[in-house]
Amino acid sequence: MEFAEAISEVAQNEERRDFDALVERYHKQAYNIAYRMAGNHADAEDLTQEAFIRAFRFFGQYRRELPFDSWLYKIMSNVFIDKMRRKPKAKIRSLDQPITTEDGEAQLDIPDTSAGPEETVLSKEMDNRIQAALNTLPEAFRLTVIYADIEGLSYEEIAEATNTNIGTVRSRLHRGRRLLRNKLKSYTDLMG
């Protein structure tokens, strides 16, 4: 009995070492996606951490012959959707839609804290605008667009990560990109 327990402990320690190595290797990639999903650093950190904890709990089911990041994406998608469902509903508004205040109507102004050469400022501003626009997309569209255009996954891989089929991926991507395009149109026109 003691021998069996010792063997089991060795196996668990080995599994833990393997998992720690995967955390080291993939946490930056996971964080980048989490940031684009969540739209801010605090939530991105929570999302990344929770995804790795959940992955750890189910690590025994992970099939080693498959890429770990694909498996992690699937878990991240679930964690993200769960978190969004638990979150109080935020009112979604267009970036161009005026805000009604006591003093009348005002335009939404996305803060830009960047400084430095003009190109950096413009690039940072564009980044903020795109992120703000991404935040307004419905979660399923946002996930699909992030996996396709930021991570460069194929439709098949996105379908696997979001637990759906290729037809749905195609439709979500089409609608998600069009929504984004419409929100960013005035800005990109301005930029030439």
Partner 1 sequence: MNCRRVVNLISAYIDGELTGAEMLEIRRHLSDCPECTEEYESIRATKLALSRLATAAPRPDLAESIIRTLDVVRVPLYQRAINSAVRFAHSKLSPVAAALAASGLALVLLSASGIDNIDSKPVQEVAAVPAQDGSFVRQLSTGSVLLPGDSPLVVADPHTGFAHPDLKLVSLNSTK
Residue ranges binding partner 1 (CB under 8 A): 16, 19-20, 23-24, 27-28, 31-32, 35-36, 41, 44-45, 48-49, 52-54, 56-61, 63, 78, 82, 123, 126-127, 130-131, 145, 148-150, 152, 154-155, 160, 163-165, 168, 170, 173-174, 177-178, 180-181, 184-185, 188
Q: To the nearest whole angstrom, how small is the minimum distance from the Cβ of residue 112 to partner 1?
A: 14
Q: To the nearest whole angstrom, how small is the minimum distance from the Cβ of residue 102 to partner 1?
A: 36
Q: To the nearest whole angstrom, how small is the minimum distance from the Cβ of residue 106 to partner 1?
A: 27
Residue 190: both structure tokens together: 């301005």
Buried b (16+ CB within 10 A) or exposed e, 112-136: eeeeeeeeeeeeeeeeebbeebbbb
Q: To the nearest whole angstrom, how small is the minimum distance from the Cβ of residue 101 to partner 1?
A: 31
Q: To the nearest whole angstrom, how small is the minimum distance from the Cβ of residue 103 to partner 1?
A: 34
> Among residues 19 and 68, whose Cβ is nearest to partner 1?
19
> Among residues 41 and 93, whose Cβ is nearest to partner 1?
41
Question: Going by C-beta distance under 8 Å and a sequence separation of 6 or more, which residues neighbour residue 69?
Answer: 26, 29
